[in-house]
Amino acid sequence: MTNQLTPLIEPYPPEIAAVLATYPQQEGYILALFRTFANSLRFLRKGVPNLLDRESPLPLRMREIVILRTTANRNCEYEWGVHVAIFAKAAKLTHAQISATCDAAVDPALWDECEARLLGAIDVLCRDGRMDDTLHAAFIADWTMEQQLEIFALCGAYHTVSFVANAARLPGEAFAAVFPPARGRGS
């Protein structure tokens, strides 16, 4: 027996199967990440909240910017690649913007001012866990309280997702994107 996290394979115990049935699937395929969560029924049920719903106070584009930047900051190609493949087109992110989510610096030519500030805030939150007064003032001017909490929840959830995917050493899904060759994050 090993304690290395790996995705469970079928057949799943009935209680695990029941919870996995509530997770997103495509033609019966369950992502390796979700099957890795299934190593703990408690984690599968409670570990990472699903914030990818239509009730989010954030527009899809902003949600995906938060997720891509957070997963890039955590060097999690697995989850970054899944989100690029599934959501980037709907979020209207250009190829250059997708690639730039992996850059250490924020290129103001690629983003509007609010998006550039959001990327900077995510970087600081991922690095320091808090914002200085100037960045905080801009953040609260840009986002409602509900949106601020959603951004924090997304950052936290995708830190956890990144930790799990990286610890399990999950290879990319067959359909997923890969990090751009020249990353400015010290890959």
Mean pLDDT of the chain: 94
User: pLDDT value at position 36?
Assistant: 97
Percentages helix, strand, coil for the chain (3-state, rounded to 5) are: 55, 0, 45
Residues 75 and 114 in one domain: yes
pLDDT tens-place string over residues 148-185: 999 999 999 999 999 999 999 999 999 999 999 876 55
Residues 71 and 24 in one domain: no
pLDDT of 40 strictly over 70: yes
Using CA atoms, how far residue 138 sits from 23, 97, 107, 123, 127, in Å, is: 36, 22, 18, 15, 18
- Report how far residue 74's alpha carbon sits from residue 71's, in angstroms, rounded to the nearest whole number: 5
Q: For the chain, how far is it from start to end, CA to CA, in angstroms? A: 31
Tell me the one-letter amino acid at 175: F
Domain housing 68: 60-167
**Residue at 97 is within a domain:** yes
Residues 89 and 124 in one domain: yes
- Report how far residue 139's alpha carbon sits from residue 113's, in angstroms, rounded to the nearest whole number: 12
Highest mean pLDDT among 25-29, 51-55, 63-67: 63-67
- Report how far residue 59's alpha carbon sits from residue 132's, in angstroms, rounded to the nearest whole number: 25
CATH at 127 = 1.20.1290.10
Residues 25 and 82 in one domain: no
- Report how far residue 68's alpha carbon sits from residue 154's, in angstroms, rounded to the nearest whole number: 10
Residues 151 and 67 in one domain: yes
Q: Which residue has the tokens 């989010």?
A: 56
**Res. 134 pLDDT band, cuts 50 70 90:** very high
Q: For helices 145-167 and 60-73, give the axis angle rounded to 10 degrees.
A: 40
- Report how far residue 157's alpha carbon sits from residue 25's, in angstroms, rounded to the nearest whole number: 19
